[in-house]
Amino acid sequence: MLSRPRIAVVTTGGTIDSLGADRLDLAAYLEAGHRLEPGELLAGIPELARIADVIERPFRRLRAHAMSDADLADLRDAVTSLVDANEADGVVITHGTNTLEETAWLLHLAVATDRPVVLTGAMRPASALSGDGPLNLVNAVRVAAAGDARGLGVLVVLADTILGARDVTKANTLRTTAFTSGAAGPLGWVDADGRVVLAHRPARGSTLRGRFAGVDLQALPRVDVVVSHQGADGVLIDAAVAAGARGIVSAGTGAGYPTPVEVDALARASAAGVTVCQASRVGAGRVPRVPSLVTRGWLASDDLQPWKARTLLRLGLAAGLAEADLQALFEAG
């Protein structure tokens, strides 16, 4: 008789366990500050027992946009402990959606395991009419229990869709189908009959899985993101340098173009020893490392969005990588 998969569910909070004023409170529920009682989320989904032996590992419950470096370090340690101690064949993390993609990318880079680690959440609170959280959690457990999901790095599962950590992003503030992987597309789906269908394996970012497992996440250098716009000056860039930033991600216009005044400020930052990474504020597409970036010694984010470029740059700087090695991270397969 085949043994059942053991899946650990680490609960960190977010919309999935939040409660609104009534069943139609789909927008202001976070302001109420009410949540399900500890253990109530999983207890309300007895169907999980059909899929796997599920064990809950409560974490501190936080809004996604309140996650600190210390929280992320402890979350990484919790996941690592579960897989290293052979307590679980896969791990599911419930997480607020606002920064879910950043946590997924960080864990992809900083957890060395071939066992599935799956993040999920909800766009509607637990009290909502037609809330999406319970089925999202069921499908995340299905994916974490699937043998085909091993070795793919950290995954995200919402709205029946399986997405890779490198490319996933929240692209809508309210829709239940808010998460997408842009041009890269989904890795697969969890169909209505419960079957996990993986269409392809992620190519980009696969060589970075667990690359920074040994880095102390509570001692990461400061890296700031500065978004460009018409008329932007260098004040925020100079302020970042004054605050001790070791890196700056410039979210430029188009294929990575700050204003001329920002370029001057970034040059000052670079001369002061700050690593500059040129990204784009556009939602998709690459930032090539054009000759001007090479001449200035600035990195290009390739197609990583600014906040994910920030995560990768922080880890690379913490690991002591040189310019060429840092650039290789952004271009890695």
Angstrom distance (rounded) from CA 290 to CA 313: 19
Provide the residue type at 246 as one letter: R
DSSP 8-state assignment for residue 36: P
Residue 315 tokens read as 């880890």
Catalytic residue among 11, 12, 15, 94: 15
Residue 85 tokens read as 């101690």
pLDDT at 284: 93
Is-catalytic flag, 103?
no
Residues 6 or more apart from 132 whose CB is under 8 A from it?
122, 123, 124, 158, 159, 176
pLDDT exceeds 90 at position 3: no
pLDDT exceeds 50 at position 156: yes
**Opening angle at CA 283, ends 31 and 190, nearest 5:** 70
The residue written with tokens 């929280």 in the block is: 71
Give pLDDT tens digits for 257-270.
Answer: 999 999 999 999 99
Give pLDDT tens digits for 36-93.
Answer: 999 999 999 999 999 999 999 999 999 999 999 999 999 999 999 999 999 999 999 9
Mean pLDDT, residues 170-174 taken together: 97
Residues 6 or more apart from 295 whose CB is under 8 A from it?
none
pLDDT band at 2; cut points 50, 70, 90: low
pLDDT band at 236; cut points 50, 70, 90: very high
The residue written with tokens 């909070």 in the block is: 13
pLDDT exceeds 60 at position 33: yes
pLDDT exceeds 80 at position 1: no
Angstrom distance (rounded) from CA 112 to CA 130: 37
Give pLDDT tens digits for 106-122.
Answer: 999 999 999 999 999 99
